[in-house]
Structure 1
Amino acid sequence: MSETFVDLGVVTAPSGVLVLGMAGWIDQWSELGDPLSVRAMAAARHGGGHLHEPVDGPSRDWSCEAVAVPVAADRPLEVRAETGESYDGPVVTVLEVDLGLSWPGAPDGGPIRLGDLPVDRCGMVLGDARALDSFVGLSGRSIDGLADVRYWGKYEEDAHAHFGGERTRQYGGQGPYGRLDLPLAEADELAGRLQSWLTGGPRSGLVVSVDAHTHFHLLERAGLTHPLLAGQIEIDGCQVLGLGWDPGDHSMRHHGERARGQVYAVTLEQRGTTTLLRWTIPSEAEEAE
């Protein structure tokens, strides 16, 4: 299988600690105990580690998981991915971050294993430990009082003629019709009018979504035009990267997550005198071997 490296941009971590975590759970840590930053800082003091629940036992299925590592606090950290082809297109096979720090192991030493992570169906987040304490997740409040309305399906053209809107952008073509960045009340009112229009006639097969501007949604939106669903936003002055996951690839290869042993190694590795964080997700061909 041919493989390609893709530059995904940079993240910043002025706290000196970087977290790679499951996007669907980032806002849940403080509900289970210490905030994410407290756990991450403690792990980083020991060179990095795997964060999970419960803290004193094996990782619980379908719960919070992340990896935290010390990084250079005074510079952008470059992120790139090695990719391969999967069911619906390109997917990440290696996520790699230059930590901006000297190699902590023996000269010419092998990888240092930090733990393993499943591929979250909601995607992954890479960002500063303290900034991610502020992360507003999937069902949270709008951070700016705005929301996006989208609609698609059998009667989308008829709905567009009645309610307007523009095609939203996504990688490989046009996305659903929608109106973005509406005040919450206006977004809810538009969605209500769309629903009333649907029930006012023999219409079915039109889906209407209202997405508040949570950090989760804005990261997802930022990644829609990228082949790897990678997007960036700013949280508390820090550049944070979100990485969505191809639904077909997740369904066929990662759907069981930790409960089915679908977890993948996170390591520290040496490049010259520099330290890399690497999360390795074998391609389908490599798994078969």
Structure 2
Amino acid sequence: MMDAVGSEFVQIGEVTAPSGVLVLGMAGWIDYWSVIGEPLSRRAAAAIDSGGGYLRQFECEAVAVATSSDRPLPVSATVATSLFDGAPTIATLQMDLGRPWTTADQTTVLLGDLPVDHCGMLLGDGAGLDSWSGIGSASIDALADVTFWGALAQEAHGEFGGRDLAALGRPGVFGLLDLPVPEARQLADRLAAWEADSRGRGVKVSIDEHTHHHLVRRAGWAHPLQAATIETAGCQVMGIGWSPGDHAMRHGGERAFGQVYPVTLVPAEDGGTLLRWTIPQQ
């Protein structure tokens, strides 16, 4: 578990890229590439053929690079404290691509820039991400989670049961996880209609079907950087969330307001190649 703030890189997980093509992209739009044109894997492979680089169409943005296909690829980060809400936040995201630096020139290569998506970021195999189920998709396993919170959450917990999710990184939130979708919908309706007192007060309720998007965010609830990996299409994909306060104050408006940050290839000291996304404190 990462608990340090400073300039040292700390490993936060590993991903795999069996196709040899790695993508860093915006989680909120990752499943839209095939809706508006060719699948992400084809676009990423074409970018690799020309040396790797930046992909964009409408709101969809990503960077694609070639990587080793036969080993886990470590992901690390330097961490800063947000000046706005005190939460830990990524200052630099870095990945060892598992391949050598191929030129004598040690100059950093700029691939493009990316905004911080308020829905989070994804790092994973281009082909694997073609099967990613995003926001609003149907459950991949016919299950869903119901969570509730608010001033009367403890009373609702006594009435409806569920788990205190504080140990999973959600203080003040209770939930019933991994329910069949019809049962989860019925429970969410009951919670929404529930009134605990004569003033008609109840709780806030959320129902989240088991999309890849939800499951990777759930896996990262307890991580300081909301970072976690899950498997999709035989690939380990990393999702990274963002503190809502930090995003609103530092990254709100994203590309439209110029809040974009460089993605580069950097030569490693051991002769390898690193992918690096640098997000300076402001």
TM normalised by structure 1 equals 0.91
Flag the 1:17–1:169 CA change in 2: closer, same or farther, 3 A: farther
The separation in 1 between residues aligned to 2:33 and 2:170, in whole angstroms, is 37
**Partner of 1:39: helix, strand, or coil?**
helix
Contact kept, 8 Å, 1:155 with 1:203, in 2: the verdict is no
1:81 is aligned to: 77
Q: C-alpha distance in 1, partners of 2:37/2:23? A: 17
Distance 1:171 1:157, change over 3 A: closer
Size of the aligned set, in residue pairs, is: 275
Deviation at 1:201, TM superposition (A): 5.4
| C-alpha displacement of 1:150 | 0.4
Aligned pairs for 1:88-237 within 5 A: 88-107=86-105, 109-169=106-166, 174-198=171-195, 202-204=199-201, 206-237=203-234
- The one-letter amino acid paired with 1:46 is S
- Residue 282 of structure 1 corresponds to which residue in structure 2? 280
1:180-227 deviation line (CA, Å, top 9, x unaligned)? 000101111111221232399532351111000000000110111000
SS at match of 1:140: coil
Q: Aligned match of 1:6 in 6, 10, 14? A: 10
Deviations 1:255-284 (A, max 9, x none): 021001110000000013100000000022
CA contact (8 A) 1:170 1:224 kept: no
Which one-letter code corresponds to 1:9 in the other structure? G
Residues 2, 164 of structure 1: alpha-carbon distance in 2 compared, 3 angstrom cutoff: same
Change (3 A) 1:137 1:17: same
Q: Is the 8 A contact 2:53 2:64 kept in 1?
A: yes
Q: By how many angstroms is 1:106 displaced?
A: 2.7
Q: How does 1:13-24 map onto structure 2 within 5 Å?
A: 13-24=17-28
Q: Shift in Å at residue 175 of structure 1?
A: 4.6
State the alpha-carbon separation in 1 of the partners of residues 233 and 33 from structure 2: 18
- Inter-CA distance 203–105: structure 2 relative to 1 (3 Å threshold): farther
Q: How far has the Cα of 1:235 moved from its partner?
A: 0.3
Q: Could you give the per-residue CA deviations for residues 5-41 of structure 1, whole angstroms, max 9, x where no partner exists?
A: 2211110000000000000000100111111000000
**CA distance in 2: counterparts of 1:202 and 1:250, whole angstroms:** 35
Q: Is the deviation greater in 173-182 or in 93-102?
A: 173-182
- Kept in 2, the 8 Å contact 1:4–1:84? The answer is no
Contact 1:171 1:227 in 2 (8 A): no
> What is the alpha-carbon distance in structure 1 between the residues aligned to residue 78 and residue 6 of structure 2?
10
Are positions 1:32 and 2:63 aligned together? no
Deviation at 1:169, TM superposition (A): 4.0
Cα 1:210–1:216 shift into 2, 3 Å = same
Question: Cα distance 1:213–1:175, how it changes in 2: closer, same or farther (>3 A)?
Answer: farther
Matches within 5 A, 1:226-265: 226-265=223-262
TM-score, length of structure 2 as denominator length? 0.93
Equivalent in the alignment of 1:287: none
Residue among 34, 39, 46 paired with 1:42: 46
Ranges in structure 1 where 5+ consecutive residues have no aligned partner: 54-59, 285-289
Give 2:60's match in structure 1, choosing from 58, 64, 75.
64
In 1, the alpha carbon distance for the partners of 2:262 and 2:208 equals 33
Amino acid at match of 1:110: T
Give the match's secondary structure for 2:156. Answer: helix
Among all aligned residue pairs of Structure 1 and Structure 2, give the percentage whose two residues are the same amino acid.
55
Gap regions ≥5 residues in structure 2: none
